[in-house]
Chain A
Amino acid sequence: MSQGLSDTQIARLEQLLGATRTMTDPTSLANYEVDGARPAAAVRAADAGEVAEILRVAAAEKLAVIPCSGRSKLGIGGVPARYDVALDLSALNRVLSYDPGDLTLGVEPGVRIDDLQRELAQHGQFLPLEVAFSNRATVGGIIATNAYSPLRAHFGSARDFVLGMEFVTGLGEIAKSGGRVVKNVTGYDLHKLLIGSLGTLAAITRVNFRTFPMPAERRVFVASFAAADSALEFCSEIAKSPLEPRVLELLNPEAANISGISPRGEGEMRAWRVVISAAGSAALVERHARDLERLSREAHAARFETFGDAEAARSLQGVREFVRMALEHAADTTIMRVPVVPPLGGMVARRLAAIADARGLNAALMMGTAGLAQVALWPRAEKRAEASSAPTDDDAWNSAADRFAPALASAVNEILLAASSDGGPARGFVEWCPSAVKRHISLWGGAREDFALMQHVKHIFDPHGVLAPGRFCEGL
């Protein structure tokens, strides 16, 4: 993808960082491929100042830069329009400030979420970011992709507990917004724009969070249902009740199987499942157990199971790692991210099987009450056989993708249609998709009326199109 860098350009980067942190050998560069595109160089910055210098060089030389660190989610987004330099932020991995008494935290983007959670746990605290790829994912990537955490049901998404950020724009300016305290309305909340922006506005160099106290006890409940309607009814009754579940996810049978949510026996492979976690004091958890059991009975659950802490962790891991498990389950999986309000979520859940069946696809759905449906689509065995023998190289992939693409594209459209059946704009997008298929389908769900404003925002932060061009919303 890169046109290659001139010797002078490489020399400029080496001058900034030294030869060991400026990598140009094919073996190293293979680690930074995005949709098959390989950069001409990968540079490992050590602090915000270096990030700024690199981006100033990139702006001057019109180089395309993709920031990364854990590289677990580089598959998300459009095929890069250009890609010259991978900006590796994994060495920015320090906790810059942590005030457990104030429940506030400031970290660099390369901090791995697992390491961070372990450190917070020593103080009885945590961040509500139970995200997929948790052994590789870093804070920067989690924020830049707005990675889904099932704890959203209770704690909201990153925009609700990120207090401020420092970042480097496409012009190489180090800037910040927000602050470090839990309440603050000083200046524009520019950092909110960076959440989920796939690195197209700025390279994040610091994120300030509020942290949360760990609960005394935690229990997981799994209710199984023979049909979508009764499972949906159960979820809706919980939403209307005064209960305060930490996690509330609805999984269709395929999703439950993929994520390993307690399939006990053949008959249950077709069950819809609702995974709930309750946390807090023993009395609070007990209250949830009692009320949830009653609500599940009223909604005609086939089964209601309770898991203590050890088993709970396994069930929750399936929910947390749903995306990774779906991708590992079939290499040609496409995963849509569809924000929904509950009534429309119900629409998606009910229509999904028919939409997928008609196109020879399998569909796994995991839907949180916080309002996000994640739909994994992959071809059925017979569809695959019909398309080609198992694709082994790029050409075979491309030809297979050619044949799947129309079915996939029309399934994506149908699902978006179901999610916007109140007349609103299409709300979802394709988050994960085989590179070959990306060239054939529209990832972002069509035009939005605020697109021109987004272009303006992009232009303010990155007027030269240095940062991750082509990766976000078709052209940002």
Chain B
Amino acid sequence: MRGNCSKSFAAAALTRPRSEDYSDRGAHFGAHARHFMNPKLIRELQSLLGRDAVLFAREDLLMYDYDGSVEQARPDCVVFPSSTRDVSEIVKLAKRFEAPLVGRGAGTGLSGGALPRAGGIVVVFARMNRILEIDAGSFRAVVQPGVVNLDVTRAVEHLGLYFAPDPSSQKSCTVGGNVSENAGGPHTLAYGVTTNHVTGLEIVLPEDGRVVRVGGKTSETPGYDLTGLMVGSEGTLALVTEITLRLSRKPEAVKTLLAVFDAVDDATRSVVEITRRGITPAACEMLDGWTLRTVEDFVHAGFPRDCAAVLLLEVEGLAEGVEEQAGEISAVCRDCGAREVRLARDARERDLLWKGRKNAFGAIGRLAPSYYVLDGVIPRTRLPETLQRIESIGETYGFRIGNIFHAGDGNLHPLILFDPRHAGEFERVVTAAREIIQHCIAMGGALTGEHGVGMEKNELMPLMFTPEDLALMARVRDAFNPAGLLNPQKILPLGKGCGELRVLPQSVGSALPA
């Protein structure tokens, strides 16, 4: 193995021109994507996987042309591998026929990461859904990528363990998708995102279908941290076929609080103060009053209908610490003007509060013909001014913008309601969204906190990164993915639209963002 670094690989990485063109070698595919579905390729895929594991009829493909974002892209073919070997052979076939290749879990992603922007083959991991090993003594589980996030926790909770990343879609999203997008969730505030809970991977390289293990069960392995590079690479460097997860021990005690405010500013100031005092809740979510009423009408969680904002806070750990932290948080919220701080009395009340939070986007979807959920991050000290800015941007462009987000780590999800049937409205949404994202960056924040760049924000990358930063990222991508066949036209700007946020209008969304 040692010393067989391929020459073509190295050459490909270095011949990249130092211009502001970071598009992959798959960038040209879009124009004539349809020719990839060579009947011979379909036949070879069928003989490899069986006829029931290959879809290519137009009506069958409809199920796979969307995800949780507002994007759409039609595959030419969908395949369902059952093993790592299948995946490796699919990669080899795609290479031979020069067909683009995109991995897909449950399709709950929010930035188009699993959409075949250039057509080609979508590899759905639904049949690779086994939990291969639970090693409680080492706090590890080894799973296939198609395992549903929540099923990991269900399989280990009798051992007093759980898998910490908890995106809102956790009942349906897969661990493979979590790894690709480096998924977050409300409880990442205390426990970190997916990358903090993955110690090893088995990957299939797009270059030649080679299967390689990186990392392992141990928390570090000698050499470069390739696991850290792969997690969050949005399916552009390799296909993941096996994942070694870190399991966490269930906390002894949990308390859930709901702080109710008559002014948004008081709520955001509370978050700033909680952070400043070094209190680390397990979760700290904010819902503004309008969002709250919409959710309450739908979920009946018992949220007060007449307030300006609530904070949904959770503290976990040893009973003694939880008691004290809950007390401190209540005091801070009251000092900042909360009119009421409620404590969930039992598991039922707690579940109800979280049900309200996790089903919020579904509730809002009932209200407007369409909505667009943004994902941006700011330093937590900037929360009050940022929410004021979002409101004024909404007023300028004439939109209702809801706010329901991970306040504790400054991860905003402004939600813009609009009606795509009104001429020009969609263009105004895109402009407003771009202003909000630009504000996040100007505050020292980030383009995306958990949804990923995908095909939604790739043209915005220059807001955060210099041409040299992007060129280096492009070289990394090209080195792992030299022909550009794996998930083309994602993450890095194509150099066409200049700094454009790419959003397409769509009818009512049913997505449940994190």
Q: Which residues of A contact B (CB under 8 A)?
A: 97, 99-104, 124-125, 146, 152, 156-157, 159-160, 169, 173-177, 179-190, 192-193, 195-197, 201, 212-214, 236, 239-240, 242-244, 280-281, 283-284, 286-287, 339-343, 370-372, 422, 424-425, 427-429, 444-445, 447-461, 463, 472-476
Contacts and interface: CB of A to CB of B under 8 A. Distances in A.
B178 to A, nearest CB: 11
B228 interface: yes
Interface string B454-482: 00010001001110110111011101100
Contact of B320 (A102, A103, A287, A475): A287
Interface string B341-385: 000000000000000000000000000000000000111110000
A15 B277 CA distance: 50
A124 B277 CA distance: 9
Interface in B215-253: 216-226, 228-229, 231-233, 237, 249, 251-252
B377 A192 contact: no
Given A102-B379, A242-B249, A459-B479, A179 B228 contact: no
A188 B461 contact: no
B222 A242 contact: no
A450 B444 contact: no
15 contacts: A173-B468, A179-B377, A180-B445, A181-B379, A188-B491, A189-B232, A193-B226, A214-B278, A239-B139, A240-B160, A284-B321, A341-B139, A342-B138, A371-B220, A452-B212
B447 interface: yes
Interface in B98-120: none
Nearest to A160: B196
B19 interface: no
Nearest to A287: B320
Nearest to A101: B381
Interface in B187-230: 188, 192-193, 195-196, 205, 212-214, 216-226, 228-229
Which 3 residue pairs across A and B have the least CB separation, nearest first?
A213-B278, A192-B228, A341-B138
B2 A452 contact: yes
Contacts of B272: 101
Contacts of A473: 222-223
A291 B213 CA distance: 40
Contacts of A448: 1, 221-223
B48 to A, nearest CB: 24
Interface in B156-189: 160, 181-182, 184, 188
B224 A193 contact: yes
Contacts of A281: 320-321, 324
Given A157-B219, A244-B318, A429-B222, 13 more contacts: A102-B275, A102-B379, A103-B278, A160-B196, A169-B472, A181-B377, A183-B188, A184-B446, A190-B473, A287-B320, A341-B217, A342-B137, A445-B222
A443 B476 CA distance: 28
B65 interface: no
Contact of A157 (B220, B226, B377, B411): B220
Most buried by B among A146, A196, A286: A196
A87 to B, nearest CB: 19
A188 B476 contact: yes
Contact of B13 (A101, A427, A451, A460): A460
Interface in B1-37: 1-6, 9-10, 13-14
B476 A190 contact: yes
A181 B464 CA distance: 12
Interface string B435-453: 0000000001111111111
B318 A242 contact: yes
Contacts of B411: 183
Given A193-B225, A451-B1, A186 B446 contact: yes
A201 B5 contact: no
A47 B149 CA distance: 45
B135 interface: yes
B127 interface: no
A185 B182 contact: yes
A426 B339 CA distance: 59
A214 B445 CA distance: 25
B218 A185 contact: no
A370 to B, nearest CB: 6
Nearest to A103: B275
A360 B125 CA distance: 54
A180 B196 contact: no
Contacts of A97: 444
Nearest to A288: B318
Contacts of A197: 224
Contacts of A340: 218
B499 interface: no
Interface string B271-312: 010011111100000000000000000000000000000000
Contacts of B193: 183, 185
B472 A173 contact: yes
A424 B450 contact: no
A460 B378 contact: no
A187 B445 contact: no
A101 B465 contact: no
B220 A146 contact: yes
Contact of A190 (B160, B472, B479): B472
B231 to A, nearest CB: 7
Given A103-B275, A156-B192, A283-B320, A183 B449 contact: yes
A447 B1 contact: yes
B217 A460 contact: no
B332 to A, nearest CB: 13
B157 to A, nearest CB: 15
B219 A339 contact: yes
B232 A460 contact: no
A147 B9 CA distance: 32
A189 B226 contact: no
A186 B447 contact: yes
Contacts of A452: 1-6, 212
B317 A244 contact: yes
A169 B218 CA distance: 29
Contacts of A173: 468, 471-472
Contact of B220 (A184, A196, A343): A196
B442 to A, nearest CB: 13
B12 to A, nearest CB: 10
Contact of A370 (B214, B219, B252, B319): B219
A286 B323 CA distance: 14
B465 A187 contact: yes
Contacts of A455: 3, 5
Most buried by B among A104, A187, A189, A201: A187
Contacts of A242: 249, 251-252, 317-318
A179 B447 CA distance: 10
B414 interface: no
A243 to B, nearest CB: 7
A189 B231 contact: yes
Contacts of B74: none
B409 interface: yes
B95 interface: no
B223 A99 contact: no
Most buried by A among B277, B409, B472: B472
Contacts of B468: 173-175
B406 interface: yes
A102 B410 contact: yes
B72 to A, nearest CB: 23
B216 A424 contact: yes
B140 interface: yes
Contacts of B461: 186-187
B167 to A, nearest CB: 12
B479 A176 contact: no
Contacts of A453: 205, 212, 214, 226, 480
Given A157-B219, A459-B13, A176 B213 contact: no
Contacts of B135: 341
A396 B292 CA distance: 78
Contacts of A342: 137-138
